Structure formats: C-alpha cells, structure tokens
Structure 1
Amino acid sequence: MSNLLEVKNLQVSFQTFFGEVEAVRGISFNVEKGKTLAIVGESGCGKSVTAGSIMKLLPQPPVLYKGGEILFEGENLISKSEKEMNEYRGNKIAMIFQDPMTSLNPTMKIGKQIVEGLRRHKKMSSEEAHKKAIEMLELVAVPQADKRVNQYPHEFSGGMRQRVMIALAMSCNPSLLIADEPTTALDVTVQAQILDLMKDIQDKMGMSIILITHDLGIVADKADDVVVMYAGQIVEQGKTNDIFYNPKHPYTKNLLASVPRPDMKKDEPLYSIQGTPPDLYKPPMGCGFFDRCNEAMIVCENNMPVFSNHGNEHFSRCFLNHKLANKEV
C-alpha cells in the first residue's frame, strides 16, 4: 500500500536563552493511506513537536528545522511557505488538539467555527456551509445538532467539546488526521466513545490517522503501526502486534510493564520506570535510555546504537539486538 506521509531524518530544535534544545533528533517513519500510526512515549519525548512540525504550526523562531524532509503526497512540506501551508492545514491535513476548551474560540459559536473552514477551503456559500456544519455535528453524534450549532463552547461538556473538535477537523474531509492526546481529559467511558467515533469516521472517509498518546491500551486496540519515541528519537517501530508481543527495546518493554494487568493482585505494586528522561539541552552521546536501563552496557553510554531489523518492518535501536551482542568476541 502506498504511503500518504513520509518523514525522513527530521531534526527540529528550539533556540532558547540557555542554548539549543534538540527536541527531535533524526526520526523517520511512514503513514500508509487509510491506516493508523500511533506515536507513543513519555511526556517530553518529542511526540507533539513531531505533530506540530508536520503541519508547521511551531513558530520560527524559536523553532529551527535543522534537517530532513516531510513528504505529504510527494510534496516536501518543510519547503512550503506559510501561504502554501494554509492550503494544507484544515483541508488536507487536520489536527485534534489535547484540550478542546483552549483550542476552540470561546467567543464564537461552534457552527461559525466549522463554517469558517468550509468557506475558506471548499468555497461553499454561507447556507451550504451551515448545512454541512450541522451534518458534521450529527456525524459525531452531537444531539439536537440543528440547535447546538448556534451554541458556544462553554455550553458543551468536555466529551461534547471533543466531538465538536472532531467535527471541525473532519469538515473538509482531510486525507490525514493528527490526533494529539485526543482523550487525555476525558473519563474512560467517553474515551471509548471518542475513539470508536474516530475509527468509524476513518472507515467511512478512508483517511489516515496519526494517534499521539501515552496510553498503550488505546494503541493496542486502534493502531496498525507503532512508533516508540524517547529523548527525541525513535527507539522502536513496527506493526502493533510485533511491538506488543515481541518488543525488542528495553524502553518498550518497560512501557508495557507499566500498564496495569487484569490479573494483578490487589497488593501488587504497579511497575514504574525509575529516573527521568535526559536533558535535551545537551543530548547524550550514546543511547538516551542508558541511565534508566537495567540492561545497559558500557558501550551504550557513549555510542549511539543503529537500528536492527527484526523482519516485517520491525526495527529497534539497541545494542542488545546487535548480531554480536550475545557472542564471545
């Protein structure tokens, strides 16, 4: 199947008063048409910076695109001007942000916010756009959509605001949807409803999804492929089943061990990864996970491991998977 998006050796930094923060350090991945790619990892590992970079939403300065390519339908988005990117944002590529209350304009009725994008990108009349806005709200199961289209964001619950965000993102029928922690502030029941809704719309529209999350339970159920990020790098990537049933990187194994299990005993403590991620003002010379890894070797501290190929598009960046790791030399 052909790729809709190809990210190649992307390097993104922030210029600050204290120096340069290397937030994304040479990552590469593909998103296939009609598929869901999950990007997982702890806070600060570079997930949201990657999402913002794809849509070029990060202000320049302080952001620097130091290298790499972001190819969407064969076009390199990094080389696009702001005017050219406005034709992609909301039209071909849409994004659902973490907090809908701060993403929606509190002074505008939700219908007007949906209409605005439709009139800009689809050249609809006011009447056509208003009708389409109601249809989109009905699609995301907002009750009494014809009346609620004229309400303000504060008149909706958290789950309903997230549905409005999905309707807004879906209104122009984008090819790629980036969902950045779309269920973070929602309770478990509403989370399931929102995720099922996104999957249903994906099946109807045939779009691709990048799902950014730290919740591995969501990933197991919804993603086709998984990218595991740590310290601004990809440490493991592959098909969802391979990542969950045959993890190769110690960080991936630790993330999976941190997930509560149904068979856990009442007094059994939940596993947690000790320590904190490295400071990306001064990125480590070797493996970023070295200080927290129970299986670290001397070579890991000052040498960057290369990717090992485990077959079926499954790769990991760890010296433990090197062909000489378990041999006497």
Structure 2
Amino acid sequence: MVENKENFENILEVKNLAVSFQTFFGEVEAVRDISFNLKKGSKLAIVGESGCGKSVTANSIVQLLPKPPVLYKAGEILFKGEDLLKYSNKQMMDIRGNKISMVFQDPMTSLNPTMKVGKQIVEGVRRHKKISAKEAEKLAIEMLELVAVPQPERRIQQYPHEFSGGMRQRVMIALAMASKPELLIADEPTTALDVTVQAQILDLMKKLNDELGTSIILITHDLGVVADMADEVIVMYAGQILEKGTVEEIFKDPKHPYTRKLLAAVPKINMEKSEVLHSIEGTPPDLYKPPKGCSFYDRCDQAMVICRDQLPELENHYGQHCSRCWLNHPDCPQGGAKVEG
C-alpha cells in the first residue's frame, strides 16, 4: 500500500522495464531491462541513435503504445509510487494530459488541423478540470502568453496551419502545460526547428521547470541540447542503458566507448579546418535476435572476447555515474583488445 505519495523524492521510477513488439517475423525486443529514476523538479535527458528505444520508453510511461502489437514483458513504471502498467485505460486517461503531459516531435501531426488552437487547449483543460468554457478560454490565453505567443487573444481563433513551425511547437507546449502537469515528456521537440527557434523552445522549457517545478524528460539525439538543458543523462543503445549519470559526469568523464564516440561526433566551435568530424562506423544490432553479449561489440574498437559472449552489468563508478562495459572491470587489460570474428 502506497502512503504519503507527496513525500516521494522520485516522481518517477522505472524498474527493469522490457518492451517488445510482436510482428509477423517474430518478436522485436525494443526495450531491454532498463531502470532509472527521475527526481521531482529535475530534468533528465535520454540520448542515443534512432531506434535505440528512447521514444518507446517515453511512450511506455504514458501507455500510448497499442496492445497488441506491444507487449510489456517485465518491469514497473512507478509514478509517485503507483505502477502505471497496472492502470486501466480509463485510469490512464486521467493521468495523460493532466499529471503527465507529452510534447511530440512534429506538432502539425499532433494538433487537429480542423480545430482552432484555442478550442484544442480549452477541450484539453476541461477534460481534467471542472471549469467553465469561459474560464478555460482565459486559461488558454494565459498559457499562450506564458509560452510567448504574441497576441494570444487573436491567436486562439486561428488554426494550426496559420502558425509557423516554432509557434506550433509553443502551442503544443501550452496545450501540454495547461493542466499544470507534474511531469512533462518532450520527445525531440526541437528537431524540425532552426537553431534560433530551438534555443527559444529550450529556454521556455527551462522557464516552466523553474517557475512551475515541472519535472522534465527530454528525448533527443543532440548532445548540445543535453549539455544546455539537462541535470542527468541516460545513454541508450539497442534498447539498453549503456551509461547514466549527471551531465558533468557524462561529459567530463564518459566511461563507455559508445558515449565517447557520440561526444567525439559533436562539432566543436574551435575545430580547425584540417580536423575531421568523427563518425561511428557500422549499424546497431538487429533486435529480432539481440546479441547475448555487449550490444555495441561489433562497432567497438576496444572489444574483447568476453564482450561478445557475456553481457556486462550496469555498474556504479562514483556518485550517480554508472556504465555497462567490461573495459571498466578491475581485471580488464589496459585498453582492451579488439577480437575479430
């Protein structure tokens, strides 16, 4: 029995979550035994290549993945101490857009193109709060003003296609924040935006975090965004967590070869013209048949025999810093030794 939910330090706890997709060709193990916590009021970034399981993890939290083909094979998703995986669809409807909201990558496919944006915000608010249409409209104007949409009284009467890409994303954030959720999940919210608008959206999210105390999970592949935005970082690859820690721990002292390669692939302001931007050769493994050893084995230039044959544990180094790599084992030879075949 859960008591005193408000006293929980972690607003979200994901424990040993495993999510698969059932297909005609077999089972795809999209998320494989991941665990992490999110503290109240903190900002967590989940990074990794496309297909690594970031969005599946985010959508699992709010139960947006259809069953079937999705199969939750194991684990718990504890929101304020209660397992969301045990909630019915009706219970989840009370959570989505109310206590937990989500901002998607492409607002044009998330907003209803046939409905004025003001009405969309009003309907979202009135679904969860017992207020009049007039009060909801006033709140919609306030939320658009909060996310810096100019002339909100006029803009609530416009349709999504009358907004620019950056303004549509602001509307999505206003819609997500209208019920003042305790957790905001942003799934690559700035990918389709130019650099200036991207910076404005990130500043807006930080403002919401500071002023409203909203906890944030940011899904992204942009490490520059992570450095500017997050308190803690999770690095995912092939459905697993390979490394996690604070921003300072990850950026100053990365422990996993994959994390180091990701950081090396980020362009630097002071790069010389002669310098070559690093890339990660190869492709991620097929999750129809995940490797029994380290999932990064085929692309790692420091891999050893044990990496191919045995999965390393996610072990703690110091503070919150953990990584899943045999190179960090005390008995590992200096630098490892690449083994072919």
TM bin (shorter chain): over 0.9
Residue pairs, 1:9-28, within 5 angstroms: 9-28=16-35
Query: 1:106 aligns to what?
Result: 113
Query: 2:13 aligns to what?
Result: 6
Opposite residue 54 of structure 1, the aligned amino acid is I
Q: Does 1:153 align with 2:160?
A: yes
Task: Determine which of 100, 122, 137 is the counterpart of 1:93.
Answer: 100
Counting aligned pairs with the same residue, the percent is 71
Give 1:157 shift.
0.2
Q: Is the 8 A contact 1:308 1:322 kept in 2?
A: no
Residue pairs, 1:26-175, within 5 angstroms: 26-175=33-182
Query: 2:313 aligns to what?
Result: 306
Task: Determine which of 197, 205, 211 is the counterpart of 1:198.
Answer: 205
Give 1:132 shift.
0.4
Opposite residue 301 of structure 1, the aligned amino acid is R
* Other structure's SS at 1:326 match: coil
Give 1:323 shift.
1.7
Q: Normalising to structure 1: TM-score of the pair?
A: 0.98
Query: 2:256 aligns to what?
Result: 249
Q: Normalising to structure 2: TM-score of the pair?
A: 0.95
Opposite residue 299 of structure 2, the aligned amino acid is R
Give 1:167 shift.
0.2
Task: Determine which of 204, 215, 219 is the counterpart of 2:222.
Answer: 215
**Deviation string for 1:114-161 (max 9, x for gaps)?**
001111101111000011000000000000100000100000000000
Structure 1 gaps of 5+ residues are none
Give 1:302 shift.
1.5
* Other structure's SS at 2:150 match: coil
Q: Does 1:264 align with 2:285?
A: no
C-alpha separation in 2, matches of 1:263 and 1:151: 44
Opposite residue 248 of structure 1, the aligned amino acid is K
C-alpha separation in 1, matches of 2:274 and 2:246: 34
Structure 2 gaps of 5+ residues are 1-7, 335-341
Give 1:269 shift.
2.0
C-alpha separation in 2, matches of 1:17 and 1:54: 26
Opposite residue 175 of structure 2, the aligned amino acid is L
Opposite residue 45 of structure 1, the aligned amino acid is C
Give 1:307 shift.
1.8
CA RMSD of aligned residues (A): 1.1
* Other structure's SS at 1:310 match: strand
Opposite residue 100 of structure 1, the aligned amino acid is P
C-alpha separation in 2, matches of 1:236 and 1:225: 11
